Structure 1
Amino acid sequence: MSNINLIIEERAADIGKFLVGRLLPFRQKRMVGPFIYIDHMGPVKLNERNNFDVLPHPHIGLSTLTFLFEGSIMHRDSIGNALEIKPGEVNWMTAGKGIVHSERTPEYLRDSEKHLHGLQIWVALPQHLEEMNPEFFHISKHEIPEWEEDGVAYKLIAGEAFNRKSKVPVYSKLYMIELKSTKTQKLSIGQYLYGESGLYILEGAVESDGNVYGSKQMLVTKDSHLCEFTIHENSTVYIFGGEPFSEERIIDWNFVATDKALIEKAKINWDAQLFDKVKDDQEEFIPYPNFRKK
């Protein structure tokens, strides 16, 4: 990938009894296009005594995208959805003015050995949609555009690129693309992209200008139209990008907004437990960290 502007290494982050590799936000790069959080979960092996349990917690001002490589997660939310996500599928949840959800190991797997591996992503909403009504969509793996070209398998997980469009109902100009190559070859795909681009290497390697980059790194370009690189054999990479917003986003815990007042209101309402509850998962919740009433 020519014209590399920044290299981001995964950093360990705790999301509640579970460690992930965090890529965004980064101190030198808060967002890539509208993508504001990118976490790499696992790969991890869980025994019968350990389960993936992210307790009910709130969001505002963003959409979440869950994409699994391995394992299964049970999603429940405060607008009544309860659905299991499996590898290759997409859960797309738009918080808008406010939603609460939990993510847990499904009941039928809780007393057995299991694996979990995937990506958890936040996409900021356009300013005029920050307080829209919350929504949830599940997209099956058969609905996601896939094609092969010169030995590279492509998958358009979300957004628009390569003159194709995913069924994930996004609210801004963006793309999330999977590339898998069985051989080493040079790719020049900048003409199919736009805005900012970040290339995350899940496995294998990518080479640019004589430098080789390995797994758990994200390469951010200065210009998506200069997206050229050599992908090594048996490599899997993900490209995140799109048109950046003109307004700055404030991130406070699970809340994202252009207006600090929206975040302060959400913090107060969550502390007072005024958000709607998650059906069939109301006994526990994650408190706002270090919240103090004024």
Structure 2
Amino acid sequence: MSNINLIIAERAANIGKFMVGRLLPFRQKRMVGPFIYIDHMGPVKLSERDNFDVLPHPHIGLSTLTFLFEGSIMHRDTLGNEVEIKPNAINWMTAGKGIVHSERTPEYLRHSDKNMHGLQIWVALPKDIEQMEPEFFHIEQKQIPIWTEENLQFKLVAGEAFNRKSPVPVYSKLYMIEIKSLTKQVVNIGQHLYGESGLYILEGGIESEGNIFESKQMLIAKDSTLCEFTILENSTIYIFGGDPFPEERFIDWNFVATSKELIEQAKHKWQAQTFPKIKGDETEFIPYPSLNKK
């Protein structure tokens, strides 16, 4: 019997002058472990007249993980951080009780052609710390665990697995694993996984139970500990997962919480513009959408 419980294909979503492929949340599967939101950005070429500009916007109750394959983003937030995100580094921002940030093409690239490609991810916080003080960490590529086993290249982007631990300071038991292969071969890693698990194909494909699955699909496992498949040549995949929370999570726009009351409070606070402002990016902001379709 196949271990695949659900297949989620990328769905087009507009994040403001920029289209992404949305994987989570999905109607039949709102979360995978603590992962509540996954967008695949690009790949897209931006001309000298186009820039990646996500205006200041708020978050509560989650951590954001930004992971680029190509391009560059200037991150600014209300903690005073101003950091350029480059490929294979990790931006990990924990909103807690509330933070505002913007993501823009750096000034030195704004008048030239450039590429953009990456993943934008939200991880919900455990209930007892969902109102914690906001935090921000930037982890360089050289700090991330990378190793090779049987011609497979592994990278532990976040969390714990394979008796290794990423330096990304997560707040629940989870994993985000990159696997690359130049050749077709069997992958059997179920003994290293736990909780719920989803396999996202960035490029190439996998074979499972005689079926071929290609890029821009996420496969949700029935049992993460039975994770075995054949990876095809020149493929890159990501495995997301971890222990699910006992409580339901509500999501509204950029807000995640265990109660609708917390979301309403954040919504009214943003509408009243009483969140802190970003130094150097005070004048623009994304209004709360009058008709929320997320």
Bin of the TM-score, shorter chain as denominator length = over 0.9
Do structure 1's residue 99 and structure 2's residue 99 form an aligned pair? Answer: yes
Do structure 1's residue 126 and structure 2's residue 126 form an aligned pair? Answer: yes
Call closer, same or farther: CA 1:146–1:73 in 2, change over 3 Å.
same
In the TM superposition, 1:244-255 aligns within 5 A as: 244-255=244-255
Query: Structure 2: any 5+ residue segments left out of the alignment?
Result: none
Do structure 1's residue 209 and structure 2's residue 204 form an aligned pair? Answer: no
Partner AA of 2:148 in structure 1? E
Q: State the match for 1:260 in structure 2.
A: 260
Q: CA deviation at 1:15?
A: 1.0
Q: Deviations over 1:52-91 (max 9, x none)?
A: 0000000000000000000100000011000001000000
Measure the CA separation in 2 of the matches of 1:10 and 1:282: 34
Q: State the match for 1:43 in structure 2.
A: 43
In the TM superposition, 1:159-238 aligns within 5 A as: 159-238=159-238
Measure the CA separation in 1 of the matches of 2:73 and 2:134: 20
Call closer, same or farther: CA 1:291–1:237 in 2, change over 3 Å.
closer
Q: CA deviation at 1:2?
A: 4.4
Query: Structure 1: any 5+ residue segments left out of the alignment?
Result: none
Measure the CA separation in 1 of the matches of 2:144 and 2:71: 19
Measure the CA separation in 1 of the matches of 2:187 and 2:2: 11
Q: State the match for 1:280 in structure 2.
A: 280
In the TM superposition, 1:8-23 aligns within 5 A as: 8-23=8-23
Measure the CA separation in 2 of the matches of 1:138 and 1:239: 21
Q: State the match for 2:26 in structure 1.
A: 26
Measure the CA separation in 2 of the matches of 1:4 and 1:291: 34
Measure the CA separation in 1 of the matches of 2:262 and 2:283: 26
Measure the CA separation in 1 of the matches of 2:33 and 2:201: 18
Give the secondary-structure state (helix, strand or coil) at the position aligned to 1:168.
coil
Do structure 1's residue 72 and structure 2's residue 72 form an aligned pair? Answer: yes
Comparing 11-20 with 1-10, which one deviates more in the overlay? 1-10
Output the TM-score relative to the length of structure 2.
0.98
Measure the CA separation in 2 of the matches of 1:135 and 1:214: 37
Q: State the match for 2:63 in structure 1.
A: 63
Give the secondary-structure state (helix, strand or coil) at the position aligned to 1:27.
coil
Measure the CA separation in 2 of the matches of 1:131 and 1:84: 27
Call closer, same or farther: CA 1:222–1:291 in 2, change over 3 Å.
closer
Q: State the match for 1:115 in structure 2.
A: 115
Segments of 4+ moved more than 2 angstroms: none
Q: Deviations over 1:17-50 (max 9, x none)?
A: 1110000000000000000000000000001000
Q: Deviations over 1:225-245 (max 9, x none)?
A: 010000001000000000000
Give the secondary-structure state (helix, strand or coil) at the position aligned to 2:283.
coil
Q: CA deviation at 1:16?
A: 1.4
**8 A Cα contact 1:92 1:137, kept in partner:** yes
Measure the CA separation in 2 of the matches of 1:150 and 1:117: 28
* Length, aligned pairs only: 292
Q: State the match for 1:83 in structure 2.
A: 83
Give the secondary-structure state (helix, strand or coil) at the position aligned to 1:121.
strand
Partner AA of 1:274 in structure 2? T
Measure the CA separation in 1 of the matches of 2:111 and 2:129: 41
Measure the CA separation in 1 of the matches of 2:194 and 2:22: 24
Give the secondary-structure state (helix, strand or coil) at the position aligned to 2:273.
coil
What RMSD, in angstroms, separates the aligned Cα atoms of the two structures?
Answer: 1.1
Output the TM-score relative to the length of structure 1.
0.98
Partner AA of 1:191 in structure 2? Q
Partner AA of 1:28 in structure 2? Q
Measure the CA separation in 2 of the matches of 1:17 and 1:97: 29
